[in-house]
Amino acid sequence: MTAPGDGKSDDIGDAITSRPRSILKLILDEKTFLRRRPEVEHEREVAIFDLLEENTFRLNGEGAHPGPYHVRLRLADDRLQFDIRDTDEQLVRELALAVKPFRMVVKDYFIVCESYFDAIKTSSPSQIEAIDMGRRALHNEGAQMLLERLQIEAELDQLTARRLFTLLCVLHMRG
């Protein structure tokens, strides 16, 4: 069900066909895979699922491929690498973002997430809510950084940026 005035249809069929999906396939390249907590694995799975269900991602620039895209995300040489391909798997563009500017927010996000995962087990609802507010604020900050750093190369919405930030964090957990 959608909120009044949000421009989406309440009819399930219309909602599915009107959903923007510029990224049809996403591969997370995790060459050195570190065993993660089940909560982190769940966050990764949800981010990928939600991203593939609904996303806005369009390459900018004259002659830019209009999409849809297949995207591989990886960390390489201290950069977040986007290998963007068409649906025939032909390379369309490579984008690279330095990860150094994200380090502090990622580090803080990890700390707050650990507190949140621990709090769910033993803390009161109000304590959990307070920690979750901090977690969401850091998540939004990281997503906004992604939006700003990608704006010349690509157009994406806040939800897509949030999901990509989650995946950036997952990639940071490499061994």
- Separation CA 149–CA 168 (nearest Å): 14
- Separation CA 30–CA 10 (nearest Å): 38
In the chain, where are the structural domains located? 20-172
State what percent of residues in the chain have pLDDT above 90. 61
pLDDT at position 11 is 38
Task: Assign 37 to helix, strand or coil.
Answer: coil
CB of 174 closer than 8 Å to CB of 75: yes
CB of 77 closer than 8 Å to CB of 61: no
Q: What is the pTM of this model?
A: 0.81
**Is the pLDDT score of 12 beyond 50?**
no
pLDDT at position 100 is 94
Those residues whose C-beta lies under 8 Å from the C-beta of residue 22, and which sit 6 or more positions away, are 55, 56, 57, 58, 67, 68, 69
State what percent of residues in the chain have pLDDT above 70. 83
- pLDDT tens sequence across 103-158: 999 999 989 988 998 898 999 999 999 999 999 999 999 999 999 999 999 999 99
CB of 2 closer than 8 Å to CB of 15: yes
